[in-house]
Amino acid sequence: MAMATVKLSSPAAGLLAGGRTRRSAPARRATVIRAAAGSYSDELVSTAKSVASPGRGILAIDESNATCGKRLSSIGLDNTEANRQAYRQLLLTTASLGEYISGAILFEETLYQSTTDGKKFVDCLKDQNIMPGIKVDKGLVPLPGSNNESWCQGLDGLASRCAEYYKQGARFAKWRTVVSIPCGPSALAVKEAAWGLARYAAIAQDNGLVPIVEPEILLDGDHGIETTLEVAEKVWSEVFFYLAQNNVLFEGILLKPSMVTPGAEHKEKASPEAIAKHTLTMLRRRVPPAVPGIMFLSGGQSEVEATLNLNAMNQTRC
């Protein structure tokens, strides 16, 4: 079990002027803090390193049943469990998938499904050295007292759900919250996002799941790239402050940040080089070196835009 110990001072007995003996203060007990990772520390570090292994990335197939239904209807299929199973089987049994994919984020239904031959999907993934992951948040809802902003729900019952997901074979988790620049963002929304992510991360680690920490800074707005950088630095500063407050093991987490870009309605489009420069600046200033991996989300960018920006980051010398 990972432990962190804080020792409080306890003054020893001594002589006062004139030779009188000073009565010793009662010894104060050391405060022992249990790290969130608990007995899973080594496994969490190993899982995080595997998901962050060079040359591979995460496959996100955690669409809700409703969203999956839209994909099926586009090719004339009904939104049934059998059709959703067939769609996900097509993805998860792709030959040589493990050469390019290190982790797959699953919807809860998929985590418990099997192929038509009876092989569990989680076993299909593990056979290709792909870590099964699971979406654990319950979605965004309005944040009372804010500037029309949102917060992510799902902490109630999270510990028991994470424990069950671990038994089923999941080894990492995803929790998405958002921050809106046009809405301020308000100090309340930033704090709620950071605190919620930290509580989720601690609970996930305590039950054996590597948490993906994802405060998505939305692309909405006409602000410039410098504004995005300023907000991103503030958000990530709060996130890591509360992660530390909750005794989260940094070596056992993964980050999924937005790239630092101008707002989608900004009059000037930034080059991939400019986006790479600002994104890397934010990461160097805010992300502790103990964190093993960063997986970027496109955040509303096109596939081509996100790929060009990611390539520019990889071409930049740190």
Show which residues are catalytic: 214, 256
DSSP code string of 169-234:
T--EEEEEEEE-STT---HHHHHHHHHHHHHHHHHHHHTT-EEEEEEEE---SS--HHHHHHHHHH
Q: Which of 300, 112, 103, 291 is nearest to 201 (CA)?
A: 291
Helix (H) or strand (E) holding 103: strand 101-106
Q: From CA 203, how far away is CA 133, in angstroms rounded? A: 15
Q: How far is it, in rounded angstroms, from Cα 115 to Cα 104?
A: 16
Name the DSSP class of 42.
Answer: H
Separation between Cα atoms, residue 163 and residue 78, nearest integer Å: 33
Q: What angle do CA 96, 68, 89 make, to 5 degrees?
A: 30
